[in-house]
Amino acid sequence: MHRRGVGAGAIAKKKLAEAKYKERGTVLAEDQIVQMSKQLETFKSNLEEFASKHKQEIRKNPQFRVQFQEMCATIGVDPLASGKGFWSEMLGVGDFYYELGVQIIEVCLALKHRNGGLITLDELHQRVLKGRGKYAQDVSQDDLVRAIKKLKVMGSGFGMIPVGGSYLVQSVPAELNMDHTVVLQLAEKKGYVTVSEIKGSLKWEKERACHVLDHLLKEGLAWLDSQAGGEAQYWLPALFSELTSRDVTPEEANQMTP
C-alpha cells in the first residue's frame, strides 16, 4: 500500500483544507473587524453624546476643549478636519476655529506695518482676547496654535517659529530658512542681535551672519541701530516688548501703506 500522501488527490485535499482554514481565518478576521467596528461605533456615538451634553463646556472652557480634542485624536477623529460635517454642525467647533482664524488674520494684518509680519504668540493672544471683548468665549494659546495650523494648511502664508519656549507667528510668506530662524531665536532674549553675538553663539563666519541680517532688514522684520556705541544692533519690532502693549493710534493708522 502506498503511504505517500503525495498524489493529485492528496494535493487537492490539502488545498481544500488550506482553503477551509483560510476561509476560517477570513471569517475570524472578519469577525474581529465587525466586532471592532461595532465597538468603534459605540465609542463614536458615546463621544458624540458626550460632545452634545458638554457642548457649552467645550465652547466656553479652553482646558476642557484641549482634553476633548485629545480624546478625539485618540480615536482618530479631527473635529476641525472639515468645515462641514457632523462635528462642526453639532458643536459649531469648526466655526469657532474658523472665526478665530479670521480674527488672527485681522490682528496680524493690522500690525504688519510695525513688525513686518512677525508677532509673538503672547502678543497675538493678548490682542485677540482684547478684540473679543468681555462676553465672548475665552480663547487659549492652544486654540490659537490650532487655528494657525489650520490656516497653514490652507496655504495662507502662516507659519510658526519656536523661540524661547513659545512661538513667533509669521503671517507673511517671507522666505525664512533655518539660518534666519536660528538668528530670530538668538534675538529673542534682548529683542536685538549683533554680528558678534551671532558669530560667538552660532560659530558662523561674518559673511553668513551679515547675509542673514541683511535678509531680515530687507523683509522689514528688523531695523538697524547704529548708535549703540559699539557695533550695529539689529532690532526686531516683533520682539520689542514696549511695542506689544501699544494700540495703533489714529496717526499711525494714517501712515499705514495700503
Partner 1 sequence: MVWFSLRCVLSRNHLCGRTLFRTLSAVNTASTAMSFEWPWQYNFPPFFTLQPNVDTRQKQLAAWCSLVLSYCRHHKLYTVDVMEVQESPVFNNKKIERKLSVEAIQVVFEELRKKGNLEWLDKNKSRCLVMWRRPEEWGKLIYQWVSKNGMNNSVFTLYELSNGDDTGGEEFHGLEDWMLQRSLQALQTEGKAEIITMDDGKGVKFF
- Residues near partner 1 (CB under 8 A) are 113-114, 192, 217-218, 220, 223-229, 233, 235, 237, 240, 242-243, 246, 249, 251-252, 254-255, 257
CA distances from 233 to 201, 217, 225, 227 (A): 15, 12, 5, 8
* Cβ proximity to partner 1, 177 vs 249, nearer residue: 249
Minimum distance, C-beta of residue 205 to partner 1, in the bound complex (Å):
22
* Cβ proximity to partner 1, 110 vs 217, nearer residue: 217
Cell of 197: 553675538
Largest Cα–Cα distance in the chain? 110
Assign 153 to helix, strand or coil: helix
* Cβ proximity to partner 1, 101 vs 116, nearer residue: 116
Minimum distance, C-beta of residue 90 to partner 1, in the bound complex (Å):
44
Assess contact for 239 and 193: CB atoms under 8 A: no
Minimum distance, C-beta of residue 47 to partner 1, in the bound complex (Å):
48
* Cβ proximity to partner 1, 145 vs 217, nearer residue: 217
The dihedral over CA atoms of 168, 172, 174, 179, expressed in degrees to the nearest 10, equals 10
Euclidean distance between CA atoms 103 and 105, whole angstroms: 5
Minimum distance, C-beta of residue 114 to partner 1, in the bound complex (Å):
8
* Cβ proximity to partner 1, 51 vs 184, nearer residue: 184
Euclidean distance between CA atoms 177 and 225, whole angstroms: 24
Minimum distance, C-beta of residue 127 to partner 1, in the bound complex (Å):
14
* Cβ proximity to partner 1, 155 vs 229, nearer residue: 229
Residue type, 55: K
CA distances from 102 to 156, 168, 187 (A): 11, 18, 29
Minimum distance, C-beta of residue 253 to partner 1, in the bound complex (Å):
11
Minimum distance, C-beta of residue 185 to partner 1, in the bound complex (Å):
20
Assess contact for 128 and 101: CB atoms under 8 A: no
Euclidean distance between CA atoms 174 and 116, whole angstroms: 9
User: CA angle, corner 88, sides to 144 and 98, nearest 5?
Assistant: 35
* Cβ proximity to partner 1, 80 vs 107, nearer residue: 107
